[in-house]
Amino acid sequence: MKTYIHQAEFIAAPKAIGTTVPCFSRKLTVKDDQEIAKATLQISALGVYEAEIDGNRVGQFRFAPGWTEYGKRVQYQTYDVTGLVHQESVLSVLLGDGWYAGRIGRDGERDPEKIPCIIAALIVEYADGTTQTVLTDSSWQVLTTPILFSCMFDGETVDFTRELENLGNAVVLERDHDLLIPQEGEEIREIMTLSPVEEIITPKGERVLDFGQNLTGTISVCLSGKRGEMLEVSFAEVLDKDGNFYNDNYRSAKNKIFVTCPGETVNYSPVFAFQGFRYIRLDQCPAETAAQDFAAVVIHSDMERTGDFACGVEPVNKLYSNIVWGQRDNFLDVPTDCPQRDERKGWLGDAQVFCRTASYNFKVDKFFRKWLHDLALAQDAQGRMPHIVPNAFSGELNPSAAWADAATIIPLQMYMTYGDPQFLIDQYDCAKAFVDYVHKAGHEEYLWLDGTHFGDWLGLDAPYGSYKGSTDEGLIASAYFALSTMNLVKIGSAMGKDMSVYRNLYENIIEKWNETYVTGEGCLLGDTQTAYALALVFELVENKQPFADRLAALVKENGNKLKTGFVGTPYLLKALSDNGYTDVAYSLLLQTEFPSWLYPVTKGATTIWEHWDGIRPDGSMWSTDMNSYNHYAYGAVYDWIFGEALGIAPDYENPGFKHVFFTPHPDKRLGFARASLKTKYGLVAAAWHYEGDVVRYEFTVPASCTATVTIDGKSFPLGAGTHRL
């Protein structure tokens, strides 16, 4: 829909200004004889912007307009600025490179070809019914600012002593106005601030502040110092084994802040840079500025917290807290793999692995709806998916199994959690085109053998020097081909479509998969934990028990420890507990030695790590080339805790928890457990605790909803209300 902003011009700085953040400014002359009934600002940018009217911040959106497939669509925001506009107001807008022109949005380098620009319309409605608009055009002035450099990866440099310069009138750029769409996702906001919990002088003698939590955002500081004095800040997620500041894992992302003090006290916080950190090092700091003058500002998409969990084992509760923080820290408009190194991209594999857990922690329907729309737009005409969305990589698309399959997995999961068929309607064509592509790809019609696959990424059974676990790539890819085909059948069937062609395709894939990868009674090619986990959870094999027996044996032989990577880990516990090995699943969950979910907890983790041994038992670190301490993917274990330990699951026939399945798998080692989720119908909850050897259960079913409880193989119905058994 065309609106005022479509009549405005995209405007840019009149000359090359290097890395300086420009300020676009326009004096408003509103009618002095009329009362303002309403004032609205519609605004967007190719880049990131922050707007002010007379020094008052407009809205609370950080890094607006957010990150979309910029070649296809750019969100604009609409703010009510009624109280801010006066007769002689000045509207000013800061503009940064952001994802559009900065290093983050490309293969790794700033794009000199891309010129950041803004577009805006201020609409003033008077009490007499008349309207006045102020649009961006060449009458806007462009000024330099004290911000000399601001980059999402590298940080910010600010000189408050700098003389500001008027660069003259803005220039108009020819850009496609049809790209502009209204805000679709959640706003990115400052969600909370944390004060330092400790000031440390490290063995190297460096002054470090610990915020007690690995987080995404930045710092704010009430900065006092003599004119010209410097504040220089470095960031880190961890300290090394000697207690020294360690951030080599940031790779080329500099994450540095330099501020030259103006002389008087200022409140400073970086505008267009964010960092993933728990610690800051004060490399230079004026004597007048104390530790308490610093705060960490937590920034992420503003999602409502809807889920909760607790149990009788404290390290598991800490793991849950780490999962929730991992989500906060990586849901910054797009689901990023990590928030700290020179990456921070919307990797499809990570997102699909975590999407169910994500929807059991926070209300993420709006967040994923926007991202899935970009995902569909990023698909090519042949049905191929990129590895990341928005796709910041150049070159031809070459989809990888388990990454590309986000196209079918995430819409179906959102439908299951939220019961909104629009997810299916919006994503059907994309999901179908992807399955059709895989069907046609390569020389085997019913297997997925070609392509550049990430395999069982980071699997511990990887051959020396490789990041890919040893599970056969064709086995994984063809298993996902089956899963995505079945997901497509479910998506289409829920929309009332005849999906018999894809049902047949699915049957053929299953037959071929068994022919190719089942090597004997209960045996799979390669004999890896991941292969069995996929076969069982994706229901690829008919007689599951011998395969489950083999999986349980492999886990036990390995000392109740996993060997799985990105692909196998999310399914490992379910594969066991669905097939008579709940005790083995709990042994894995409660394992505290490397590799396990609780091992990082014993090492003081406050988020989920990329590597099970990001910090090794001897205190050394995993190699710097790939070692994030804030990678949410393995946090998907909450699927199992919520869906199997507590046993709460939605029903495909009545999604959104209109009908709930409760199939709890209690274990005395947890003592008690309880989990809940605020659904659109109300609170769904399950709890159990042990009294001696007796298990007591409690289930909560929202009004107008029904449930089916299954305990010890016996099922019975439940109506709305809280029931104790």
From the candidates 610, 644, 691, 698, give the one annotated as an active-site residue.
Answer: 610
Instruction: Find the farthest-apart pair of alpha carbons in the chain and give their distance in angstroms, rounded.
Output: 88
Tokens of 239: 């300290």
Residue 65 to residue 67: CA distance in whole angstroms: 7
Q: Distance between alpha carbon 173 and the CA centroid of its chain, in Å?
A: 33
Q: Which is nearer to ligand BGC, 502 or 566 (CB)?
A: 566
Cβ-proximal residue to ligand BGC, closest one: 337
Residues 6+ apart with CB under 8 A from 346: 67, 334, 335, 336, 371, 388, 389, 390
Candidates 189-197, 342-350, 589-597, 710-718 — which segment interacts with ligand BGC by CB under 6 A? 342-350
Minimum Å gap between C-beta 607 and ligand BGC is: 14
Sign of CA dihedral 503, 444, 402, 108: negative
Minimum Å gap between C-beta 471 and ligand BGC is: 14
Residues binding ligand BGC: what is the number (CB under 6 A)?
9
Concerning whether 52 is annotated as a catalytic residue, the answer is no
Tokens of 360: 């059991």
From the candidates 50, 69, 237, 343, give the one annotated as an active-site residue.
Answer: 343
Residue 661 to residue 524: CA distance in whole angstroms: 31
Q: Which is nearer to ligand BGC, 196 or 335 (CB)?
A: 335
Residue 661 to residue 644: CA distance in whole angstroms: 11
Minimum Å gap between C-beta 496 and ligand BGC is: 35
Q: Which is nearer to ligand BGC, 50 or 350 (CB)?
A: 350
- Which listed residue (66, 98, 346, 349) binds ligand BGC by CB under 6 A? 349
Could you tell me if 282 and 209 are in contact, meaning their C-beta atoms sit under 8 angstroms apart? yes
Q: Which is nearer to ligand BGC, 457 or 612 (CB)?
A: 457
Q: Which is nearer to ligand BGC, 470 or 587 (CB)?
A: 470
Q: Which is nearer to ligand BGC, 145 or 628 (CB)?
A: 628
Sign of CA dihedral 437, 443, 445, 450: negative
CB atoms within 10 A of CB 71: 12
From the list 155, 56, 166, 74, the residue with the least C-alpha distance to 119 is 74
- Which listed residue (67, 454, 638, 688) binds ligand BGC by CB under 6 A? 454
Q: Which is nearer to ligand BGC, 568 or 650 (CB)?
A: 568
Candidates 346-354, 519-527, 548-556, 710-718 — which segment interacts with ligand BGC by CB under 6 A? 346-354
Concerning whether 113 is annotated as a catalytic residue, the answer is no
The residue with tokens 């004032």 is 39
Q: Are strands 180-182 and 36-46 parallel, antiparallel or unpaired?
A: unpaired
Minimum Å gap between C-beta 321 and ligand BGC is: 21
65 preceded by cis ω (within 30°)?
Answer: yes
The CA-atom distances, in angstroms, between 322 and each of 214, 215, 633 are 9, 10, 12
Binders of ligand BGC in range 611-640 (CB under 6 A): 631
Site membership for ligand BGC, residue 457 (CB under 6 A): yes
Binders of ligand BGC in range 309-338 (CB under 6 A): 337-338
Minimum Å gap between C-beta 631 and ligand BGC is: 6
Minimum Å gap between C-beta 365 and ligand BGC is: 23
| Contacting positions for ligand BGC (CB under 6 A) | 337-338, 343, 347, 349-350, 454, 457, 631
Catalytic residues: 343, 610
